Structure 1
Amino acid sequence: MAIAAARLGLHVSAVGHVGDEIYGHFLLDVLHDEGISMVEMNEQNGVIDTLSTAYETLLCWVLVDPLQRHGFCSRADFSEEPAFSWLSTLSTKAKMAIRRAKIIFCNGYGFDELSPGLLGLLWIMLLRWYLSHAAICLTYGRVNTIKAESLTGTEDPIVAGQELLKKGIRTKWVIIKMGSKGSILITPSSISCAPAFKVNVIDTVGCGDSFVAAIAFGYIHKLPLVYTLTIANAVGAATAMGCGAGRNVAKLNQVLELVSGSNLNEDEKFWEELLKKHSDTEEITLLTKAVINGTNNWLQRVSLQKVVGELLPKLECAQAKQVGAC
């Protein structure tokens, strides 16, 4: 997620822990090459046992089966104690990075590896950040159709999104990823839909996180919602064309090629049938390949040509400022 966001031109810091060994040094080099600053969670004032594996970089193995389904495994899965149980407080630099952030992306699984005491401190910090950014803060949920159905019991992705929106106290957006069909962004008063881009899928590892990076890009730049979905679909699709995550997530030149190529996986019948059931919604917007800008009764169509014309200058500006490889 951090690398994808940096490649879109966002200023990114990674808050976490890496060990003083080959893997930690490698990760620091990669982040540096991508223009990402690393903020160490450990204050490093005290003496620690550097020979203990507890302080080493936590490695994760990605397991992929022939159907492209993947799972994750690390030493933390075989330990009764959290991987970072030795970490009792946050460093001053980590606290400062959290306070200054415009957007915070938290890996939920990471919280499993912290001690209860540190978890309490971290949640208080995040709550304070949340309240102090009330005017500009965005809270959103991003799930795929399978997770949305399991959480709400409904097959209709829009109804599922609306149910999830109601359950979130201050949630403003819910995004449903629908694989090759595209994605939907739901707010209390609108539905925005964008078909996916046609690509040759090699590996879906990292697609979700890179998708999130593009959502952050759209939010920070105050893009219209359907524009945000379009760039997110493009970044996710570009990542799927590679193999693995990390440095193999979408490169900006790939994203530019995708949005410029206008090769949408359109399914007019699917979107018409899905959206017509929700025609009483205040605003419904659908991205289309055909140049049919404007509103037709209940459905507002926005052409990809129009979106690309406004997105390209922002992406080209990001490319000009980019530190990492394009």
Structure 2
Amino acid sequence: MNKACEVVVIGDLLLDILFYIDRKTKIDRLSHVISRAFISPGGVGGNISTALSRLGVQTCLVSAVGGDAIGRYLLEDLENEGIDSRHVKIFRDKPSGVTVAFVEPDGSRTLFSYRGACEEQYVDLDSLAEAMKSSKFLFISGYLAHSPWGEKAMIGAAELAYRLGVEVGVDLHEICGEKPGILEGLRRKVSYVFLNVEELRSVSGERNLGRAIKKLDEMLKPKAIFVKRGEKGSTISYSGKLINMPAYRVKAVDTTGCGDAFDAGVIYGIIKQQSLEEAARLGNMMGAYKATGLGARHLPKGLEELNTLLNKAETPAKG
């Protein structure tokens, strides 16, 4: 896969193991038998790369796997999805990362992640500069902040993209709020910020949604902030405006990866020069589609399939 990449994604590539449980099942010291389990490629980097590739975007992933059968499986999946994996490092003496998810009947889930090889330093700025030669957008996962090298890598990648004239989007994780150096280093270098309500509250230190968004805007000075609100849709903040974008009403089966699907939809809209409202609408569509199936990679094969399913869904509810 040697075509020029429109979008470069920095983020973890993991194996997801999902257990679908009923409400009476608890995480305790007893033994439980469940009726359904599911195994799928996952990780924020892999999920967003796959979603973008399905939408027809040439995508390059910067990530890591171990030198094991799981790593080989994950790399083969990237190849099958048409994703440039030249910048996925293989740490042969490390195991690949795994996430175990417990999914409840309403689709909500609890995650336990072992990052494995993704704990190793997999962001090399010289290699990243090569990957971004013809890129329009760089996405950085906030999960990198869990690694000792993550803060420096996130800031270095954003600064590099800024110098190259590549737009930067970052999905902030709660841990980013515990490391103020990250927010200071990303200030004015990140164009688009993605996060959910709890992450927003954690990073900003504010409970009220409006005040939290305003504070984050002051911290980072981005072009826009996209807040993911689940069944309530999403909220965009830009140019002093707050706009609620309604959710699509679908029967949620599994919400694993919905936030990643949303991010990919928004990124697609941005690089196709759609309005921010249209980009958020597409993000909501992608998140809704993902929620209707099992695993983080339940994604449309293209815009036509996405529109076909959501044309059957109820009209968006008010945000």
TM > 0.5 = yes
Q: 2:71 is aligned with what amino acid?
A: G
Structure-2 separation of matches of 1:92 and 1:130: 15
Higher normalized helix content (fraction of residues): 1
Ranges in structure 2 where 5+ consecutive residues have no aligned partner: 1-47, 169-188
Deviation per residue, 1:32-62 (Å, 9 max, x gap)? 11111102354x8xxx8x4x3x2x3233333
Distance of 2:246 and 2:212 partners within structure 1: 19
Match of residue 302 from structure 1? none
Q: Secondary structure at the match of 1:104?
A: strand
Structure 1 position 83 matched with structure 2 position 122: no
Structure-2 residue corresponding to 1:73: 113
The alpha-carbon deviation at position 126 of structure 1 amounts to 3.4
Fraction of identical pairs, as percent = 24
Pick one of 229, 245, 248 that aligns with 2:298: 248
Summarize deviations over 1:58-80 as a string: whole Å, max 9, x none.
3333344566232232165xxxx
Helix, strand or coil at the partner of 1:128: helix
- What SS class does the counterpart of residue 226 from structure 1 fall into? helix
Once the two structures are superposed, residues 91-126 of structure 1 have per-residue CA deviations (whole angstroms, 9 ceiling, x without a partner) of 86444114543211222223534658xx64674343
The Cα shift of 1:135 comes to 7.8
Residues of 2 paired with 1:139 and 1:208: CA distance? 18
What's 2:86 paired with?
39
Structure 2 counterpart of 1:57, one-letter code: S
CA distance in structure 2 between the partners assigned to 1:97 and 1:138 by the alignment:
18
What's 1:324 paired with? none
The code of the aligned residue for 1:37 comes to D
- With structure 1 as the length reference, what TM-score do the two structures score? 0.66
Q: Which residue of 2 aligns with 1:215?
A: 266
Following TM superposition, by how much is the alpha carbon of 1:16 offset from its aligned partner in structure 2, in angstroms? 1.8
Aligned length: 249
RMSD of aligned residue pairs (Cα, Å): 3.1
Structure 1: runs of 5+ lacking an equivalent = 272-326
Contact conserved, 1:15 with 1:38, CA < 8 A, in 2? Answer: yes
Task: Please name the residue that 1:7 is paired with.
Answer: 54
**Maintained 8 Å contact 1:39/1:93:** no
SS in 2 for 1:73: strand
Counterpart of 1:236, as a letter, is G
From the superposition, tell whether residues 92 and 236 of structure 1 become closer, same or farther in structure 2 (CA, over 3 Å).
Answer: same
CA–CA distance in 1 between the matches of 2:154 and 2:207? 34
2:96 to 45, 54, 57: 57
Measure, in 1, the Cα distance between the counterparts of 2:125 and 2:167.
27
Matches for 1:226-241 after TM superposition, within 5 Å = 226-241=277-292
The normalised TM-score by structure 2 is: 0.67
What corresponds to 1:198 in structure 2?
249
Q: Render the CA deviation track for 1:106-149: whole Å, top value 9, x for unaligned.
A: 22223534658xx6467434312223317898622222233334
Q: Give 2:212's match in structure 1, choosing from 160, 164, 167.
A: 160
The residue that corresponds to 1:175 in the other structure is 226
Asked if the contact 1:18/1:58 (under 8 Å) is kept, the reply is yes
Counting only pairs closer than 5 Å after superposition, residues 99-110 of structure 1 correspond to structure 2 as 99-110=133-144
Residues in 1 aligned to 2:118 and 2:64: alpha-carbon distance in whole angstroms = 14
Aligned to 2:69: 22
Q: CA contact under 8 A between 2:192 and 2:225: conserved in structure 1?
A: yes
Supply the AA of the counterpart residue of 2:298.
N
One-letter code of the match for 1:127? E
> How many Å apart are 1:190 and its aligned residue?
2.8
